[in-house]
Amino acid sequence: MPEYIPFNRIFKDAEERKALADALDGDCWHGDGPAGKRVESYLGEWLGSPHVFLTTSCTHALEMAMLVLDIGEGDEVIMPSFTFVSTANAVRMRGARPVFADIRDSDLTMDPEDVARKITPSTRAVIPVHYAGVSADFDGLRKAVDGRDIAIVEDAAQAVGAYWNDRALGTVGDIGCFSFHDTKNITCGEGGAFLTGDAGLAEKAEWVREKGTNRSAFLRGEIDKYTWVSQGSSYIPSDLLASLLEAQLRKKERILEARAGVWHAYRDRLASAADKGWIRLPEIPPYARTNYHIFHFHVRDLSDRDPLLNRFREAGIGASFHYVPLHNAPYAQKILGAQPPLPRTEELAGTLIRLPLFPDLEIVKEVVADRVLAVLTDYFTGKRGD
Ligand SMILES: Cc1ncc(COP(=O)(O)O)c(C=O)c1O
């Protein structure tokens, strides 16, 4: 049995160990300490964002977004059904209604034409998800919202260091939300960030993040007491985690380069399987520069996906599906009632396979890509076992 290749492995070395040890030896374990501040200004400079707030997760950054936009009962927020539950929960937690739009065959991002069809007078925001680190279609989305007072909140959980034209994802919409979970390209275990270019939203974000108080202004010496100024919660990560994130950010080029190497090895090796019609490879639109967060492909037939996932597992390859669509999930049915079908979402989610992708695979990328091709060849040349 060849060595098992997990779906993901954290890229780490002595730098993270040292950063954490130094932070542990220091006197600041709470949040918004020196490491947190350094990381926020580093991210702001790198990505071109005037207001960056580290958060405890992307889930929490999305919750903050709904709070600062004052989204509540009677409001609707449009998002893909093909996303992680946090996108919908953030809306639901405000008592607002998630409205699910379909996605596109080419890149699995939200279909602007379906967004346009789903806009009503109650629509307050749209949340595009940059699936796999590939930008949503901002031109299309802006056309869909067409001058209405509808905020664009980017769920950029997977998209740190990816771009729409020359603009970093997370900085293109009104608000951007990042994840630094350990499944992401850059990680501190659990973490995230909230970004905005709007000073008014930034002020509210500062309150919301600090339990609904103006304590941050107090700590800067701008006021002599802090008090309760808005709804809020505890969204500030410890400086221990910020120190870890700082060490990871220092190797972001190395991480990106290695991921790109693995991604291209898969792409090159699997081109023949796509030519034979066994699988379909997704496209990257010309305005998008990916951060190589995910490598995925589609099988042609829904019935092939699960048996193939088993074959990959048997061959020691930790391949995985992605997202059970939210519009058909039990909780959506319970709170929203029966949902209209989303044909593209249902087919694309049912045929998707993700392959292992992490920097340490770089040195064995050809071997792994060959092993993947061998599994596909066995399966599609009649050894399906059926
Ligand atoms: C699209 C999307 N949104 C939100 C999240 C939540 O991120 P976090 O784990 O940082 O809360 C994820 C995590 O996988 C995600 O993929």
Of the residues 7, 8, 58, 296, which should be mutated to test ligand 1's pocket, given the most ligand atoms within 8 Å of the CB?
Answer: 58
**Average pLDDT of the segment spanning 240-248:** 98
Residues with CB under 6 A from ligand 1: 57-59, 83-84, 86-87, 129, 155, 157-158, 179, 181, 183, 192
DSSP 179-193: E-BTTSSS-SBS-EE
**pLDDT bucket at 385, cuts 50 / 70 / 90:** low
Residue position matching structure tokens 């990959």: 312
- Looking at ligand 1, which atom is closest to the CA of residue 183? 14
Average pLDDT for 372-383: 92
Best probe residue, ligand 1, of 77, 85, 158, 235 (max atoms within 8 Å of C-beta): 158
Name the pLDDT band for 384 (thresholds 50, 70, 90). low
The Å distance, Cα 250 to ligand 1 centre, comes to 22
The 3-state DSSP class for residue 79 equals strand
Q: Is the pLDDT of residue 278 over 70?
A: yes
From ligand 1's centre to the CA of 218, what distance in Å? 32
Q: Which of 60, 86, 160 to mutate to test the pocket of ligand 1 (most atoms within 8 A of CB)?
A: 86
| Of 147 and 117, more confident | 117
Residue 202 has pLDDT above 80, yes or no: yes
Tell me how far CA of residue 69 lies from CA of 208, 233, 259, 343, in angstroms. Answer: 11, 15, 35, 31
Mean pLDDT of the chain: 97
User: What's residue 3's pLDDT?
Assistant: 86
- How many whole angstroms separate alpha carbon 239 and alpha carbon 24? 9
pLDDT in tens, 62-110: 999 999 999 999 999 999 999 999 999 999 999 999 999 999 999 999 9
pLDDT at 336 over 50: yes
19 by Cβ neighbours in 10 Å (0-12 / 13-18 / 19+) ranks as: buried
What phi, psi does 276 have (nearest 5°)?
-80, -5
Distance 54 CA to ligand 1 centre (A): 15
**Centre of ligand 1 from the C-alpha of residue 198, in Å:** 23
Instruction: Round to whole Å and give the CA distance between 59 and 127.
Output: 13
Domain architecture of the chain: domains with CATH: 14-249 (3.40.640.10), 252-380 (3.90.1150.10)
DSSP string, 271-326: HHHHHTTSEE-----TTEE-----EEEEESSHHHHHHHHHHHHHTTB--B-----G
**Cα of 318 to ligand 1 centre, how many Å?**
20
List pLDDT tens digits, range 10-57.
999 999 999 999 999 999 999 999 999 999 999 999 999 999 999 999
Q: Tell me, what's the pLDDT at 341? A: 97
> Phi then psi for 101, rounded to 5 degrees?
-110, 160
pLDDT at position 386 is 52
CA 168 to ligand 1 center in whole angstroms: 18
CA nearest 82: which of 30, 25, 34, 130? 130
Residue 363 gets which letter from DSSP? Answer: G
Burial bucket for residue 24 (CB in 10 Å: 0-12, 13-18, 19+): exposed
Ligand 1 atom having least distance to the Cα of 86: 4
pLDDT reading at 1 higher than 50? no
Return the ligand 1 atom nearest residue 129 CA. 1
Query: Which residue, judged by its Cα, is nearest atom 9 of ligand 1?
Result: 181
Ligand 1 centre and the CA of 156: distance in Å?
8
pTM: 0.97
Ligand 1 centroid–CA 85 distance in Å is: 8
Distance between CA atoms of 346 and 182, rounded to whole angstroms? 28
* Mean pLDDT of all residues in 217-222: 96
